[in-house]
Amino acid sequence: MINVLLNNIEKYSGKYVATRSFQEKEAVCSGDDPVQVYNDARAAGAEDPVVFYVPEKDLVHIY
């Protein structure tokens, strides 16, 4: 079973994205600055937005 975090994820490659909650699959807003994305999501009516980074396709991340 695959858990999809976001619909149309390839559209947000290399961006920070905000959703209304962990259960939501639609982006409220996106951008390059996570703080601005959070603030924009709040302004759009998301009470407690979830902000996360969508890595660029085929880019290797080592944590």
User: Quick check: helix, strand or coil at residue 31?
Assistant: strand
| Domains of the chain, residue spans | 13-54
Q: Which pTM does this prediction carry? A: 0.84
Residue-level pLDDT at 1: 56
Residue-level pLDDT at 6: 85
CB-based contact 25:7 (threshold 8 Å): yes
What are the tens digits of pLDDT across the range 15-58?
999 999 988 999 999 999 999 999 999 999 999 999 999 988 87
Using the structure block, give the residue that is written with the tokens 């409220």.
Answer: 28
